[in-house]
């Protein structure tokens, strides 16, 4: 499917008369074969009802994502570059008995002064529902002042988030009152569902169910652009 394209009409009256001639909804889709796939380049206007999104035959979200990845692959092959952020993730550390290691620990995150609340926001941590200590504008030999966040947590810290909003931060894993490990975030090559595209015409803005994905284009300026529409990120 595709939208009724207004730019192909010679006058607006004809477009307004015909644009709603055919709208795919669940009632029409019930008469189609179970193996049929519904494709659409997106974004849509109203030619596919939102209720169709939940149908297993609705393949347009996957279609758009695959198209974006194919364009990235073609561009990368032409310029001899590698696709950033799509390498396989490291496997989780598993104990010999097959279980995951879960020991109570604290995350100690020193970051630049004035960034602690922004870090909590991007990490999606609600201070009212999380055991944490927050110190702002503490003395720092390196930066002059710094913020410190201490969180009792059993989950891994999202270093991509910290690398994006607080690259100078240090993550200390504390067990038994001692720092047993230190992690230093780096600027991620690719981020998913951390920042949001501000382009009102981007498919990630107009459609639900599509991940917000951005790639790094300039590390010095910390410039990220949308994988789908190439809009520069604002954060």
Pairing between β-strand 105-112 and β-strand 132-140 as defined by DSSP bridges: unpaired
Instruction: Examine the fold and report which residue of 21, 36, 58 is the final residue of a domain before the chain moves on.
Output: 58
Same domain for 215 and 147: no
Same domain for 202 and 174: no
Does residue 89 carry a pLDDT above 60? no
| DSSP states along 192-232 | ESSS----TTSHHHHSSS---EEEEEETTTTEEEETTT-PB
Cα 232 to Cα 215: distance, rounded to the nearest angstrom? 10
Residue 32 lies in a domain: yes
Residue 41 lies in a domain: yes
- Write the pLDDT tens digit of every residue in 180-228: 778 788 888 899 998 899 998 899 988 877 899 999 988 888 899 999 9
Does residue 28 carry a pLDDT above 50? yes
- Write the pLDDT tens digit of every residue in 51-81: 999 999 999 988 888 888 888 788 777 776 6
Same domain for 173 and 195: no
Residue 65 lies in a domain: no
Same domain for 212 and 176: no
Determine how many CB atoms are found less than 10 A away from the CB of residue 89: 5
Same domain for 209 and 176: no
CA dihedral 110, 112, 118, 122 (to 10 degrees): -60
CATH number at residue 149: 3.30.70.140
Same domain for 202 and 166: no
Question: What is the structure's pLDDT at 214?
Answer: 93
Residue 202 lies in a domain: yes
Residue 154 lies in a domain: yes
In three-state secondary structure terms, 139 is strand
Q: Would you say 204 and 212 are in contact if contact means Cβ atoms under 8 Å apart?
A: yes
Q: What average pLDDT does the chain have?
A: 78
Cα 100 to Cα 23: distance, rounded to the nearest angstrom? 49
DSSP 99: P
Residue 209 lies in a domain: yes
Same domain for 115 and 156: yes
Name the pTM for this structure.
0.57
In three-state secondary structure terms, 129 is helix
Residue 69 lies in a domain: no
Instruction: Examine the fold and report which residue of 37, 58, 79 is the final residue of a domain before the chain moves on.
Output: 58
Cα 171 to Cα 13: distance, rounded to the nearest angstrom? 61
Q: Average pLDDT in the 114-121 region?
A: 77
Number of domains composing the chain: 3
Same domain for 199 and 179: no
Residue 233 lies in a domain: no
Same domain for 197 and 162: no
Helices marked H in the chain = 12-18, 26-29, 60-79, 116-122, 159-165, 203-206
Sheet of 105-112: strands edge to edge?
Answer: 132-140, 144-153, 105-112, 171-175, 178-183
- Find the domain containing 205 and state its range: 190-226
Same domain for 160 and 120: yes
């Amino acid at each position: 499917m595709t939208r009724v394209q207004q730019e192909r009409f010679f006058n607006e009256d004809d477009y307004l008369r015909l644009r709603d001639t055919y709208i795919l909804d669940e009632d029409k889709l019930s008469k189609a074969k179970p193996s049929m796939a519904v494709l659409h380049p997106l974004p849509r206007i109203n030619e596919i009802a939102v209720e169709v999104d939940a149908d297993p035959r609705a393949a347009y979200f996957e279609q758009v994502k695959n198209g974006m990845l194919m364009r990235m692959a073609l561009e990368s092959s032409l310029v001899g570059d590698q696709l950033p952020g799509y390498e396989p993730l490291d496997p989780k550390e598993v104990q010999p008995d097959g279980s995951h290691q879960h020991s109570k620990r604290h995350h100690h995150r020193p970051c630049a002064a004035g960034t602690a609340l922004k870090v909590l926001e991007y990490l999606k941590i609600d201070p009212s529902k999380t055991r944490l200590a927050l110190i702002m504008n503490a003395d720092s030999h390196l930066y002059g002042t710094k913020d410190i966040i201490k969180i009792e947590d059993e989950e891994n810290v999202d270093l991509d988030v910290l690398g994006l909003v607080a690259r100078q931060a240090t993550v200390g894993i504390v067990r038994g009152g001692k720092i047993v490990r230190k992690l230093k975030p780096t600027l991620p090559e690719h981020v998913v569902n951390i920042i949001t595209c501000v382009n009102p015409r981007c498919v990630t803005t107009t459609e639900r169910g599509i991940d917000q994905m951005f790639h790094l284009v300039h590390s010095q300026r910390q410039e990220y652009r949308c994988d789908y529409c190439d809009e520069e990120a604002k954060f």
